[in-house]
Structure 1
Amino acid sequence: MKKHLLLPLFSLASVLAAEPAPDFQGGIERLDPAIDQLLAPDAKIEVLASGFNWSEGPVWKDGQILFSDVPENTVFGWKEGDKNAFISLRPSGSLDGTGQGSNGLALDAQGNLILTQQGERRIARLEKDGSFTTLADQYNGKRFNSPNDLVIARSGQIFFTDPPYGMKKGVEQDAPYHGIYRVDTDGKVSLIIDDIRWPNGIALSPDEKILYLAISDKEAARVMAYDLQADGSVQNGRVIFNAQALKSAERKGSCDGMKVDTQGNIWTTGPGGVLILSPQGKHMGTILTGQNTGNCAWGGPEKDTMYITADMFLLRVKTRIQGY
């Protein structure tokens, strides 16, 4: 693991984002009665902050929601009672400011912030002194493309996707594939899937026996599931939901970030907002945001509030289920 230079960690009081825009249009689409067990009939979408370039990768940490603004190379934060979001970390993913910032965020067992840093082409841990430690930046001598999203298993293993979305213009891929990787606690990196184009979001089932992928292929947006083996490899890849048919001028976006609740339901961003799928892939409903929607995560003291990063917006919806 490599340690890198100290970074300017901005004051949590620093404010950049504007107050919520008044013209947000959204709602909840109910396609199956089972959704009432997940979202109350009177559930509403709240706009918490707006004015971002492209919001992504939310995670709940220390009583606040943190999330990336990828093009702005910034991690923002928001907590109850705030009128605006504040700058928590900048730069977040490109140390020299010439590349993309962080995308997916997660917490390890010690509560440390783990980031996919697109500009630095690595997975990194934020240290208490504001420096970054590289957890992984290559496989078999080949640099990653631009790590996009990640999930951390109870074992401490990190699974992440590596499409080239965040690569600098003119920089060529070192590897000919868009890999899905596993980083073991000893730092060993394994390529577990190499035949998917445009992998994006990633999640684990509550029993950690299934690995889910959101695929943002323009021609084949979908959610896939793989059986996770004891050694961390995967088998039996299959499509459990085809989202391509949902795309329309009114329903922007593709399959991107995703999370799983304690009952195993999959909450994945997709055309229109956040799609709510059963463990078998049945589409039960959608949190309609009217925006290209990047990611989502549970937070709050009871972990029963869904926070959503949707283009320029930070949103939330109270749920009847807790996040895994």
Structure 2
Amino acid sequence: MPDLQTNPSVKGAAGGRVAPSRRAVLAAAGSVLATAGSAAARPAPPSTITDPPRDFRPGAAPTTYFTDPDVITVDPAFDAYVVPNSAIRRLWTGALWAEGPAWNAVGRFLVWSDIPNNRQLRWLEEDGHVSVFRAPSGNSNGNSFDRQGRQVSCEHAARRVVRYELDGSATVLADSFEGKPFNAPNDVVQHIDGSYWFTDPPYGGQLYEGLPDEAGGPSNPKGHLNPRLGQPAGVVTARRVLPNAVYRIDPAGRIDRVLTDDQVPDPNGLCFSPDHRTLYICSTGKGPGDTGPGGKGEIYAFDIGSGGALSNKRLFADCVVDGVRCAPDGLRTDVDGNLWVSSNAGRAVGYNGVTVWSPAGTLIGRIRLPEVCGNLTFGGPKRNRLFMAASQSIYALTVNTQGAGPA
């Protein structure tokens, strides 16, 4: 409360100080209480997830913990994968939405997409240098390196999957199914049999991450949006006509639809178990132009048979932690078959980052980040470093396991 007894603005006729009236005291007290009540009703949202507050900026002073307080053991089984003197590091920040990290083992660099900025970026391990790797990138999303070291990318704008060959040329692996353009290929991985598997939800059919449909399409029903704005002359636009689905590109080039939207609504990230006998796939939220209920933020598993035939669908994880839905997006397995999954918990501070699940679907660990995590991959010379693409930034953590195969 203000000290009205010594407030120089309260003076008598001769300029001397006088005691305030009872009305003035009550009015001042009411003002203070009203201000306090207003602040209590609208508390400032939390800005950190550790106490004392943690500074993740690349140039910040180091903070030493043993172990990192944001690497959380949920089940004792997770302790075997924690390196006690390894801490989460923010390697870089400056994206609008970072996605699709992929590790090049020969060049020892990380590639990822900055989807809205229509570019791919590269981080060099030797000195931490970050530069633009490819621009424009077709609003690329998911990236991976196949078993021959070639980069494979999903492009939202062109609605296709592209492979960059070792001689510098580019090959379009898939841009349509049964003569109809894809929606917005999202994530892609290679199976040990040489086939490529990718998801095709509609998230790229919006201004922020790609190109909306032509007038009248599901993501542009009123035709108010012009998909050609900001695009080069001759850009080919399209209208969504295919349902969401998962596809397999046979080594011979044939494209098969292996999962429908009815089986896995809004399919997003996908990966294989270490033995390539199981497919894990995320079912994420409703996308632009979707007419169905959309996914609920769950992970499903399927057995893989001859020729890519899928069977034995089962719910692997509902991704609900402490009552908070940690919606999955990208995911990768380690050599022991554990599933490392990006977590988008929205404004639930402390639940964004990574969730780690045993092969049986038991939550064993979490990694907390100060930003929503969209995707991740294993990399580094020993493939024991977890790289996390989280909103505007790239984070890394050394772990006591290795990723299962190139990614």
RMSD of aligned Cα (Å): 2.2
Change (3 A) 1:283 1:151: same
Distance 1:243 1:30 in 2: 16
* 2:252 aligns with one of 186, 204, 211: 186
The answer as to whether partners of 2:213 and 2:240 remain within 8 angstroms in 1 is: no
1:295: which partner in 2?
375
Map of 2:91 onto structure 1: 48
Alignment of 1:8-19 (within 5 A): none
Counterparts of residues 54-93 of structure 1 (less than 5 Å): 54-61=97-104, 62-92=107-137
Shift of 1:210: 0.4
- Paired letter, 1:319: V
CA contact (8 A) 2:119 2:133 kept: yes
* 1:226 alignment partner in structure 2: 302
- Residues 1:259 and 2:332 aligned together: yes
Residue of structure 2 in register with 1:97 after alignment: none
Alpha-carbon distance in 2 for matches of 1:170, 1:121: 11
The number of equivalent residue pairs is 296
Structure 2 letter corresponding to 1:205: S
Aligned-partner residue type, residue 302 of structure 2: Y
Alpha-carbon distance between aligned partners in 1 of 2:328 and 2:248, rounded to the nearest angstrom: 21
Q: Work out which of the residue numbers 143, 151, 159 in structure 1 matches 2:181.
A: 143
- Gap runs ≥5 in structure 1: 1-18, 95-100
Question: Where does residue 161 of structure 1 map in the other structure?
Answer: 199
Structure 2 distance, partners of 1:304, 1:42, is 14
The aligned counterpart of 2:389 is: 309
**Alpha-carbon offset, residue 109 of structure 1:** 2.3
> Against the structure 1 CA distance between its residues 236 and 222, is the aligned structure 2 distance closer, same or farther, given a 3 Å change threshold?
same
In structure 1, what is the equivalent of residue 22 of structure 2?
A: none
Secondary structure of 1:43 counterpart: coil
Aligned-residue offset at 1:176: 4.6
Contact persistence 1:213–1:225 (CA under 8 A) = yes
Between Structure 1 and Structure 2, whose CA radius of gyration is higher?
A: 2
More strand by percentage: 1
* Cα deviations by residue, 1:249-284 (Å, 9 ceiling, x for unpaired): xx8x62100000001000011232111000111001
Name the structure 2 match of 1:273: 353
Quote how far apart the aligned CAs of 1:285 are: 1.0
Contact between 1:273 and 1:287, CA under 8 Å: does it hold in 2? yes
Letter aligned with residue 94 of structure 2: G
* Distance verdict in 2 for CA 1:33–1:42, change over 3 Å: farther
Distance (whole Å) between structure 2 residues aligned to residue 26 and residue 82 of structure 1: 27
AA of the residue aligned to 2:367 = I
Could you tell me which of 71, 76, 86 is aligned with 1:28? Answer: 71
Preserved CA contact (<8 Å) 1:26 1:45: no
Measure the CA separation in 2 of the matches of 1:82 and 1:310: 21
Is the Cα–Cα contact under 8 Å of residues 101 and 142 in structure 2 kept in the other structure?
Answer: yes
Give the share of equivalent positions with the same residue, in percent. Answer: 33
TM-score, normalised to structure 1, is: 0.85
Asked if the contact 2:180–2:242 (Cα under 8 Å) also holds between the matched residues in 1, the reply is: no
- Using the TM superposition, give the Cα deviation of residue 114 of structure 1 relative to its aligned residue in structure 2, in angstroms: 0.6
Structure 2-normalised TM-score? 0.69
Conservation of the 8 A alpha-carbon contact between 1:112 and 1:126: yes
